[in-house]
Chains A and B, each alone.
Chain A
Amino acid sequence: MTYIRWFDEVRAGDRPTVGGKCASLGELISAGIAVPQGFAVTVDAYAAHCAGFRDRLAGAAPGDAGALVRAAAMPAQVEAEVRAAYADLCRHEGRADLPVAVRSSAVAEDGDAASFAGQQETYLWTVGADDVVARVRDCWASLYTPQAVAYRARLPEERAAEATRIAVGVQAMVDATVSGVAFTVSPRTGDRSVVAVNASWGLGQAVVSGEVTPDEFWLSKAGPTLTARTVAHKARECRPAPDGRGVVTVDVPVERRDAATLDGERLRALASLAMRVEEHYGCPQDIEWALDASGRFLVLQSRPETTWRARQAARAARPANAFLNLVHTIGTQR
């Protein structure tokens, strides 16, 4: 295949070909971390797609450019490879018409800022090869939303050019029984010995949309050991729609509403997983995870958590207590 790279065959160095998001997932897989399987539609695929109308694209107004990208037929080889890869993925996951997430994977280093600018789309619960092909094109077209164009206009020329290089990731959706986020640094104090976990029933969207207050768990990395737990009342949960396209929000059965989503053993497993991700990247991470029906934790996404780095560095090496300083000095002098 020319335009497809499977996640488990890419590494961080493949960013120019598969974009940051896909490269990062490949890294996680190489570190032995369970990630839903999927493939990248490479930067070259997008380049091939635009090859026939590159000049028109450069001159077009933002709205027109997007329409241009969306209207153009995908090059036959690209489309064939996307369909073949999707079929492989369905076979691999053991399910025809596998629901997948289709999302942009930017090459530029400032991918996060770019996503705020709306040039990185995510289409969850996409089902069937036709829709996958259409959503891949939609991701490409998202480079030309007004916000994305405005964003690139502020960049130096070289970086603006780089910001138009885009890959697309196609990844199996996880039918999660529990999902949430894990921080490998305390969002309260920046304490790096802490793993903080939010979790709710079903798919992660209920929490993101603010419809549900998640359970909150705090662990110490030593062990790891659970140190605090707040079990919330969780009346609603997101589930995959019966036809696999999209999600529905339903009532949580009464007996599960006030129950803890994760027990001590699962929490320790999740914290260990989060710590492996952090160790792999060498800095604190903000991790989206899901627990699948077989009881396996999967990492959906991991981003560096940078808020606390500066404050951590500023922290004194010794306590600011005159008496204890004296004890330390006289107790450890040779």
Chain B
Amino acid sequence: MTSTAPRFPDPYAIPTPPGADGWEEMYPYYNRFLESRRELDSQRTWFLNSMHFPEPMPPFDIVTSDSAFMSVGVMNSRVFALPPALGLDVRVLNGYVYMSSNGVEDPEEIGRRAQEFGVRAGHYYQNWPDLYAAWETKVRAQIAALKAIEIPDLGDLEPRDRVLAARGIASSNDLLVAYQRILASLDAAWNLHSELLNLGYAAYLNFLMLCKGHFPEITDQAVAKMVSGVDVLLFRPDDELKKLAALAVELGVADRIIAGEDPGPEWLAAYAESAEPWFHFSYGNGFYHHHRSWSDDPSFPLAMIGEYAQRLRKGEDLSRPLAAVSAERDAVVERYRGLIDTGEGRQAFDEALGLSRVVFPYVENHNFFIEHWYMTVFWNKMRSLGELFVRHGFFDAVDDLFFLRRAEVGDALVDLQMAWCAGGRPHGPDHWPAIVRQRRETYAALARWSPPPALGPAPGQIVEPMTIMLWGITDEQVAGWLAAQEGTGTVRTLRGFAGSPGVAEGRARVVLRPADLSTVEDGEILVAPITSPSWTPVFARIKGAVSDIGGIMCHAAIVSREYGLPAVVGTGTGTSTIRTGQMIRVDGDTGAVTLLDD
């Protein structure tokens, strides 16, 4: 490597942000850039995974990164034997998650893996609808099992009936088992998350590349439109809100809901029915303990039900035009198909499109099951463990638990077990509060830091399609990042993907976290790091949307198209460049965001 080759910052030369000294102790050794591995790790290119981990990781929350990367990796490397691609190595730097992919280069090895892949993946493709149905059953079972895990109370005495039944094993052991089960369940759920995912993406990618072969300038948007389902789970929670709004109008209780008064048992029963499971819908992406869901905090869904009810009373039709969407999809397919000259070409197009549509319900819907529903239950189960620690004086607040690493939670648990068994006083209350206080400050300092998009030597040409597809990392993007770190000029125009057509001008509203969603006012342009599908209802208020992260399948784009709002996604730096109140122009036709005033 010569000194003139383009480079991103060396991970070993990045300074600790002010106020974040000692951040390393919040993360396990296997996730860090260790001094002893400088030779190895500084030679590799690392990309920031801001798509899934836009915020620094609280110490416990790293379990989601661990499990997610492990499961994607194991499916590629050992379960399906993808010929060219293995998994990703993960490092945490100043709290942010970076990744570097492992590949297979040896042609002989690729050949051997291709044979295995053919058998294994072939089985999945040919039995996809059945396997997808079975998958849903497995996930529901996993969620039910997680819910059923009991965190023992650790009261004064063991319950008498257990003793008389000669159980022999005490509640302190149950506590240990419960924690281990929760962690094992998380890992299993993420295995399931990834079971069908990359096979699904590969089938989609096959169609995408086929389209690009015929139509080099086809947009990802157009390809997605041909494959996308008309009725996807993503919209189900929003549909439930509309349904509840309609019921409120019918029962004459809309004003009570708007005023925050009791709407009566009939409506509440309907709400409860919708909520399970549809309101286990994360305000964020489910990867962080503080990304609560509608079921945890119903203020947003209730506000939207009120808004929808008012619109219904004005005679508005809130239903989504499914027939029109479906007709448009068919028209797009016919348009492209008709431009392919040969029968052979049209047959390959039909086959690839057919396969994509078979796999796509999983690609579109898995998110609700794992990231939203499962993770809502998971974080709440961990919270009930936090409550136990609060009762025993370890923490002031339930959420303090998430400022311990998973191994430290295990230690604290043994501490509690030992003290409870011995009838003594645990160390925890004298040990943890000061550490948690310190870590919360460190965490806040890390949150103020802007992580570079990549580390280490700039990569050669990026050709591996899965990288481009899954992470949206392209040669142009890398070149853009390199140019940006040279600091060329003041930014007046941001570039991203044209997510949803149209042009809108308006005042920007930068929303960094779901809690700030209520600040969004009518006619503003939403600027956010990512948008979760649970933000969907707020799209009824805004004029346009801009996101830092997002590509082909990004929620902001899908939802914007549905609402007919211009959107530019994947701008990289929207939230750090644009200020709330600034006039901006969103050009969803071309993927440009222009800052109109200073």
Contacts and interface: CB of A to CB of B under 8 A. Distances in A.
Contacts of B295: none
B213 A331 contact: no
B348 A222 contact: no
A323 B209 CA distance: 12
A188 B216 CA distance: 10
A221 interface: yes
Given A264-B501, A332-B355, A319 B209 contact: yes
A218 B591 CA distance: 13
A329 to B, nearest CB: 8
Interface stretch (A82-90, A133-141, A171-179, A310-318): A310-318
B206 A328 contact: yes
B222 A186 contact: no
Interface in A158-200: 186, 188-194
Nearest to A312: B341
A254 interface: no
Interface string B325-355: 0000001100110011110110010011011
B217 A194 contact: yes
Interface string B447-458: 000000000000
Interface stretch (B16-24, B66-74, B113-121): B113-121
Interface size range on B against A: 35 or more
A229 B587 CA distance: 10
Contacts of A318: 210, 213, 348
B502 interface: yes
A324 B219 contact: no
Contacts of B590: 226-229
Contacts of B307: none
Nearest to A319: B209
A241 B122 CA distance: 71
Interface string A123-144: 0000000000000000000000
Given A191-B216, A193-B339, A264-B501, A222 B331 contact: yes
Nearest to A186: B217
Interface string A290-334: 000000000000000000000011011111011110111111110
Contacts of A189: 216-217
A223 interface: yes
Nearest to B111: A322
Contact of A223 (B202, B332, B344): B332
A327 B339 contact: no
Contacts of B225: 222
Given A222-B331, A264-B503, A323-B82, A191 B348 contact: no
A221 B335 CA distance: 7
Nearest to B205: A324
Interface in A227-244: 227-229
Contacts of B117: 326, 330
Given A194-B217, A319-B213, A326-B117, A222 B222 contact: yes
Given A225-B501, A324-B202, A315 B213 contact: yes
A220 interface: yes
B578 interface: no
A330 B218 contact: no
A228 B209 CA distance: 21
A327 B215 contact: no
Contacts of A226: 501, 589-590
Interface string B191-211: 000000000001101100110
A324 B206 CA distance: 5
B335 A331 contact: no
Which of A220, A228, A316, A323 has the largest number of chain B CB atoms within 10 A?
A323
Contact of B336 (A186, A222, A225): A222
A327 B344 contact: no
Contacts of A190: 216
B135 interface: no
A280 to B, nearest CB: 15
Contacts of A316: 213
Which of A194, A218, A326 has the largest number of chain B CB atoms within 10 A?
A326
Interface string A256-282: 000000001000000000000000000
Which of A191, A192, A227, A330 has the largest number of chain B CB atoms within 10 A?
A330
A222 B121 CA distance: 33
Interface in B484-525: 498, 501-503
B348 A328 contact: yes
A190 B215 CA distance: 8
Which of A222, A226, A328 has the largest number of chain B CB atoms within 10 A?
A222
Contacts of B209: 319, 321, 324
A333 B351 CA distance: 9
Interface in B538-584: none
Given A316-B213, A323-B84, A227 B498 contact: yes
Contact of A191 (B110, B217, B340): B217
A264 B500 CA distance: 13
Interface string A194-229: 100000000000000000000000101111011111
Given A193-B335, A226-B590, A264-B589, A332 B351 contact: yes
Contact of B217 (A223, A227, A313, A315): A227
Contacts of B118: 326, 329-330
Nearest to B464: A323
Contacts of B345: 317
A322 B104 CA distance: 14
Contact of A330 (B121, B336, B498): B121
B429 interface: no
Contacts of A312: 341
A193 B217 contact: yes
Given A225-B222, A324-B465, A327-B206, A317 B354 contact: no
B334 to A, nearest CB: 9
A316 B332 CA distance: 21
Contact of A319 (B206, B335, B587): B206
Nearest to B201: A327
B33 interface: no
Nearest to B345: A317
A66 to B, nearest CB: 46
A59 to B, nearest CB: 51
Contacts of B498: 227
B336 A193 contact: yes
A70 B216 CA distance: 52
B589 A227 contact: yes
Contacts of A329: 118
B52 interface: no
A213 to B, nearest CB: 18
A189 B332 CA distance: 20
A228 B331 CA distance: 21
A190 B217 CA distance: 9
Contacts of B587: 229
A156 to B, nearest CB: 33
Contacts of B221: 225
Contacts of B122: 330-331, 333
B87 interface: no
A74 to B, nearest CB: 48
Interface in A64-116: none
Interface in B72-96: 82-84
Given A264-B589, A330-B121, A218 B217 contact: yes
29 contacts: A188-B217, A191-B215, A192-B339, A193-B335, A193-B336, A218-B217, A220-B218, A225-B219, A225-B501, A226-B501, A227-B590, A229-B587, A315-B214, A317-B342, A318-B213, A319-B206, A319-B209, A322-B110, A323-B465, A324-B206, A324-B209, A324-B465, A327-B202, A327-B203, A330-B117, A330-B118, A330-B122, A331-B203, A332-B351
Given A227-B217, A227-B219, 13 more contacts: A194-B215, A218-B217, A221-B339, A229-B590, A317-B213, A317-B348, A318-B213, A318-B348, A324-B202, A326-B117, A330-B121, A330-B122, A331-B203
Return the 9 tightest CB-CB contacts between A and B, nearest first: A330-B122, A319-B209, A226-B589, A317-B345, A332-B351, A331-B125, A189-B216, A193-B215, A222-B332
